[in-house]
Homo-oligomer: A and B are copies of this chain.
Amino acid sequence: MHIAVLAGDGIGQEIMVECLRVLEALSLPDLKLEHADVGGVAYHKHGHPLPPETLALVHSADAVLFGAVGDPACDNLDRHLRPEQAVLGLRKEMHTFANLRPAKAFAGLEGLSALKPEVAGAIDLLILRELTGDIYFGDKGRRTTDAGLREGYDIMSYDENEISRIAHVAFKSAQGRRKKLCSVDKANVLQTSVLWREVVNEVAADYPDVELSHMYVDNASMQLVRNPGQFDVMLTGNIFGDILSDQASMCVGSIGLLASASLGEGTKGLYEPIHGSAPDIAGQGIANPSAMILSAAMMLRHSFGMEAEALRIETAVAEVLQAGVLGHDLGGKASTTEIGDAVVARL
């Protein structure tokens, strides 16, 4: 198994160290880890946040482990040179249209959410976010109106194939869970959403065992606060999923715990924590590596079919949390290395 390791900026470097220690402790057969630069770090060294050598490695590897990108020193660069463009570029290059963001309450942590323990404790949902279309990748830019005014614009769009392929992933995921799928859109306003709803309804015919519902995005955001336990799988477009998945992660208690997998047609995937590079705490050894470690578990499951090994990691992380080894993001004192040590010890 050949893995491209892109640690990136800020805490990305620190959490990746612990993640790789965990992988190495599993004594996986033929584990080959190859590093490359991405984000601000890559811009400073190579003049581009996603340089050709990094892309070449990504294309030759079986899977990609991604830390985080984002560097305040790049804030004034041209848009296409900014670190965030590396994530968007990778998603597009790898055709990873399906972003899986599971959010599940961890035993013992219910009290740490801003939500009441009984509300937060019931969370066990999977957000399936479309990742290579929508208003993210449509035509966008700056123009001058007839009246001579500056105007910014972005085109949102989806075609039926883009919708149906992610819908199939969502229905299949629901079949492996509690068989409930809630598709999120804004069909009372957006034409993109009207087509979205139409196609999701068409795909539903192939999955009679899954209970499908539709919800407007404003209501979904409200329901995620009121009663997140009502959701099993939530299917969303790119921009709505961006908002709702961050919201859901905070309902669980900390964004430092949530992993994600981005998948395409094959088994090659991009695995990354949903948090960012956290420049404010970078280099202090206090970042929580759990989301990064859990992303490696998702990689073993989705790219290599190693369900047992994935579960070993997930169980170890859950045990560490339950034992009260908490990072600073959770009000604890454990350092990045101490959390890594504790996970490795429990494998």
Q: Which A residues are within 8 Å of any B CB, using their own CB?
A: 79, 82, 84, 88, 114-116, 119, 135-136, 138, 140-142, 145, 147, 149-161, 186, 188-196, 199, 217-219, 221-227, 239-240, 242-247, 249-251, 255
Most chain B Cβ neighbours within 10 Å, of A136, A193, A194, A222: A222
User: A135-B190, A221-B244, A246-B219 given as contacts; is B226 within 8 A of A114 (CB)?
Assistant: yes
**Residues on B with beta carbons closer than 8 Å to the beta carbon of A88:** 189
Contact of A135 among B147, B156, B246 (CB under 8 A): B156
A132 CB, nearest partner CB in chain B, Å: 13
Q: How many copies make up the complex?
A: 2
Known: A84-B189, A152-B157, A243-B243. 4 other contacts (CB 8 A): A136-B189, A145-B159, A218-B242, A222-B246
23 contacts between A and B (CB under 8 A): A88-B189, A114-B119, A114-B225, A135-B189, A140-B190, A140-B191, A140-B192, A149-B159, A149-B160, A151-B159, A152-B192, A153-B156, A153-B157, A153-B191, A153-B192, A154-B157, A154-B192, A186-B242, A221-B221, A221-B243, A222-B255, A224-B247, A225-B251
User: A115-B115, A227-B114, A247-B222 given as contacts; is B152 within 8 A of A188 (CB)?
Assistant: no
Contact B191 A141 (CB under 8 A): yes
Report the 10 A-B pairs with minimum CB-CB distance, sorted nearest first: A152-B195, A153-B157, A218-B246, A152-B192, A151-B159, A222-B250, A221-B247, A140-B191, A149-B159, A225-B250
Contact B154 A82 (CB under 8 A): no
Instruction: Give the residue name and chain of the B residue nearest to A151 (CB).
Output: B159
**Residues on B with beta carbons closer than 8 Å to the beta carbon of A199:** 150
Contact of A217 among B138, B227, B243 (CB under 8 A): B243
Contact of A84 among B136, B188, B226, B251 (CB under 8 A): B188
A226–B225 alpha-carbon span in the complex (Å): 11
Contact A151 B195 (CB under 8 A): yes
Contact of A142 among B136, B155, B191 (CB under 8 A): B191
A159–B190 alpha-carbon span in the complex (Å): 20
A157 CB, nearest partner CB in chain B, Å: 4
**Residues on B with beta carbons closer than 8 Å to the beta carbon of A116:** 114-116
